[in-house]
Amino acid sequence: MISENILDIKGRIARAALRAKRDAAGITIVAVSKGRSTQEIRQALEAGITDIGENRIQEAATKLNELRIQRELRTHMIGHLQTNKAKEAVQLFDLIQSVDSLRLAQSISRHAENLGKVQEALIEVKTSPEVTKFGLLPEEALKIIPEIAKLKNISIKGLMTIAPIVDNPEKTRSYFKLLKEVFDKINKLPNMDYGLSILSMGMTDDFEIAIEEGSTMIRLGRGIFA
């Protein structure tokens, strides 16, 4: 059951935080609801979930607009975003986690300005070369973020990464360590007028390792809904 899954996950988060001597209150759960019905999402919201992640604009539009009428929720875009869908993403999401180019950031900022919004976003970083096509390499992220920081209607809050699928979750640790290093480096750049606070890393199979390495936001699909 979804409510039991969530209870179990909260216990595991608390234990991982304790091991890392961190406060579990600093870790946000994003329930990844791609492919799930609004009825399932409602159950998660009733069990205390506040943040919902989707990876496709069309599917998200249908479901989130229906859910928003009834409840308050924070919405996250976690899938690859094409520049020509930036306007819809700005309309739909509180946090766009998958910004991976200056061009996309510029487009988001422009649409956000038209809508009278400052769009919060994360930069997607490719910490492992084989995992996905998307995301900036760490050195590219370091170069581009000061440029994005100059745009008025997009506010970069942190970094996101997807670790590769491995047989043993322990093998994901180095990717999370790398993202934390990039995060710390960016926060030390001169000419950055805002600090990053969100490290979105960790999914169903590896969230405990991610928490030990400093994650502040975990994205869970199967762990909640399966």
Ligand X SMILES: *Cc1c(COP(=O)(O)O)cnc(C)c1O
Give me the least distance between CB of 101 and ligand X, in Å please: 17
What is the residue whose two structure tokens read 């234990």? 15
Cβ contacts of 126 within 8 Å, gap of 6 or more: 132, 134, 135, 136, 137, 161
Give me the least distance between CB of 50 and ligand X, in Å please: 17
Between 20 and 131, name the residue whose CB sits nearer to ligand X. Answer: 131
Give me the least distance between CB of 77 and ligand X, in Å please: 10
Between 151 and 220, name the residue whose CB sits nearer to ligand X. Answer: 220
Evaluate whether 201 touches 210 at the Cβ level (below 8 Å). yes
Between 151 and 216, name the residue whose CB sits nearer to ligand X. Answer: 216
* Phi, then psi, of 125 in degrees rounded to 5: -115, 135
Q: What is the DSSP letter of 150?
A: T
Evaluate whether 154 touches 144 at the Cβ level (below 8 Å). no
Structure-block tokens of residue 10: 């909260």
CA atoms of 100 and 78, how far apart (whole Å): 12
Give me the least distance between CB of 165 and ligand X, in Å please: 9
- Using CB under 6 A as the criterion, which residues of the chain lie in contact with ligand X when the complex forms? 32, 34, 55, 78-79, 162, 203-205, 219-223
Between 54 and 212, name the residue whose CB sits nearer to ligand X. Answer: 54
CA atoms of 134 and 98, how far apart (whole Å): 9
Between 111 and 219, name the residue whose CB sits nearer to ligand X. Answer: 219
Residue nearest to ligand X (CB): 221
Give me the least distance between CB of 132 and ligand X, in Å please: 9
What is the residue whose two structure tokens read 């990844």? 32
* Phi, then psi, of 194 in degrees rounded to 5: -135, 145
Give me the least distance between CB of 69 and ligand X, in Å please: 25
Evaluate whether 179 touches 127 at the Cβ level (below 8 Å). yes
Between 43 and 204, name the residue whose CB sits nearer to ligand X. Answer: 204
